[in-house]
Amino acid sequence: MRTSVGIIGAGPAGLLLAQLLQRHGIDSVVLEARGRAEIESTVRAGVLEPGTVELLAEAGADARLRRLGQEHRGIALAFDGGRHRIDLYALTGRAITVYAQHELLKDLIAARLEAGGGLLFDCPVTALEAFDGSGPARIRYRDAGGERALECDFIVGCDGFHGIARQALGEREPPWHRQYPFAWFGILAATPPSAPELIYACHERGFALVSTRSPTLQRLYFQCAPDDSVDAWPDDRIWDELQARVPAADGVGLERGEILHKNIVAMRSFVARSLQRGRLFLAGDAAHIVPPTGAKGLNLAAADVRLLALALVEHFRNGSEAALLDYSRRALRRIWRAEHFSWRLTGLLHAFPDAGPFEREMQRAELDYLVSSRAAATSLAENYVGMPRDWD
């Protein structure tokens, strides 16, 4: 098989890149090790920056998002028994959209199949070859019929931290990496909304997050030990813990209901030293991971893809490789901005095991400053809704 761009991974980055390229008449094939049903049913959060929503519109994959996504113009910071609203729209003129990632993946898969683009499920990649040379690169993979090879001009690895693309790229120095001493316990609950907007709660027992998914589904998280177990948390204990950490509003606490799904999310930061080598490029979680506190993971993947799509279009139209050669530098600038914001917000809202009274008072002072200073609130809001697209 032969194509212009071979894409490894049918997550948001890989599917969005394929769709953008197709809109510009550039053919690609997406190879995915998992099955379609697994991809479309894996529960993950989804807070979309306005730039990501605009990019999905350019890709022609925003119809359901426009209909079902929930625009939020603010967030709440909860601490010391009270809730304080940060008005994102008043401070920046921009808002976020809450739309579950697996729903977005359904949209991108449907758009890809409707357009007749190459999308192969249950096809694990086994090797990458010749991406350093001047000739075509090759992706070797396996399907039900045996070993296959895909020849292409460029390879883009969107297959995550443990994927083959990052390993094949290789790094002369280890990547930048930070492991946090806690994790998130996440639930999907069949309840009406407890609040109109996201609540970020800082409590001496640990962090908590309340996020509305739909009028009947809510996604909630609370800080837990990294070696904690889902089995250790029966439903009543979960609701009691969340209620203890999230202060009631006007005497009304969280809405309780049936818990449909439980999982534990690891907390870490990772940035690759370089996102390109020859004709192999990295995007999304293969290039970087951020703690979920700042809601940047999916949005960074979209920002990578926008830059890479523009660079590939320039190459196939004009024969220029200038933008491709500059991809890593430009992408890493935004990545480090998002990493810093996520690291700062994580440190501000979580209970660290080694923190003493002094550190806790410093944390409280910073939170008080954020909700009482317009300048401080503007800085948080600007980073939360995402830097402008031309900031690269």
* Tokens 């994959």, located at residue: 61
Q: Domains in the chain, ordered, with CATH? A: 2-72+97-177+268-350 (3.50.50.60)
pLDDT band at 258 (very low <50, low <70, confident <90, very high): very high
Residue 212 confidence class, pLDDT cut points 50, 70, 90: confident
Dihedral pair phi/psi, residue 353, rounded to 5°: -60, -30
| 121 contacts 35 by C-beta, under 8 angstroms | yes
Q: Which of 9-13, 45-49, 132-136 is the least confident region?
A: 132-136
363-379 mean pLDDT: 97
Mean pLDDT over all residues of the chain? 94
Q: How many CB atoms lie within 10 A of CB 119?
A: 22
Determine whether 387 is exposed, middle or buried from the number of CB atoms within 10 Å of its CB (0-12, 13-18, 19+): middle
Active site residues: 72, 200, 292, 296, 384
Q: Which amino acid makes up residue 372? A: S
Long-range contact set of residues 350-357: C-beta below 8 Å, sequence gap at least 24? 350/180, 350/182, 350/202, 350/206, 350/207, 350/223, 350/293, 351/182, 351/203, 351/204, 351/205, 351/206, 351/207, 351/223, 352/181, 352/182, 353/181, 353/182, 354/181
Angle between helices 12-23 and 50-58 (to 10 degrees): 50
Name the residue with tokens 């490894």.
Answer: 8
Residue 251 has pLDDT above 70, yes or no: no
CA-nearest of 8, 55, 56 to 29 is 8
What's residue 242's pLDDT?
Answer: 96
Kindly report, residue by residue over 288-331, the tens digit of the pLDDT. Answer: 999 999 999 999 999 999 999 999 999 999 999 999 999 999 99
Task: Return the axis-axis angle of helices 101-114 and 12-23, rounded to nearest 10°.
Answer: 30
Given a cut of 90, whether residue 61 has pLDDT beyond it is: yes
**Cα–Cα dist 315/4, whole Å:** 11
Residue from 61, 3, 58 nearest 31 by CA:
3
Angle between helices 327-349 and 357-372 (to 10 degrees): 110
Q: What is the pTM of this model?
A: 0.94
Q: Please report which confidence band the pLDDT of residue 109 belongs to, taking 50, 70 and 90 as the band edges.
A: very high
DSSP per-residue codes, 59-114: TT--HHHHHH-EEE-EEEEEETTEEEEEEHHHHHS--EEE--HHHHHHHHHHHHHH
Mean pLDDT in residue range 200-207: 96
Distance CA 142, CA 125 (A): 6
**Helices marked H in the chain — which ranges?**
12-23, 36-41, 50-58, 63-68, 88-92, 101-114, 164-169, 235-245, 297-318, 322-325, 327-349, 357-372, 374-385
Q: What average pLDDT does the segment 53-71 reach?
A: 95
Strands 74-79 and 280-282, how do they pair?
unpaired
pLDDT in tens, 145-176: 999 999 999 999 999 999 999 999 987 777 89
Distance CA 108, CA 123 (A): 18
pLDDT score of 213 more than 90: no
Q: Specify the DSSP class assigned to residue 152.
A: E
**What's the Cα-to-Cα distance from 71 to each of 50, 88, 95, 112, 253, rounded to whole Å?**
10, 11, 7, 26, 23
Alpha-carbon gap, residue 276 to 283, rounded angstroms: 9
Percentage of the residues of the chain whose pLDDT score is greater than 70: 99
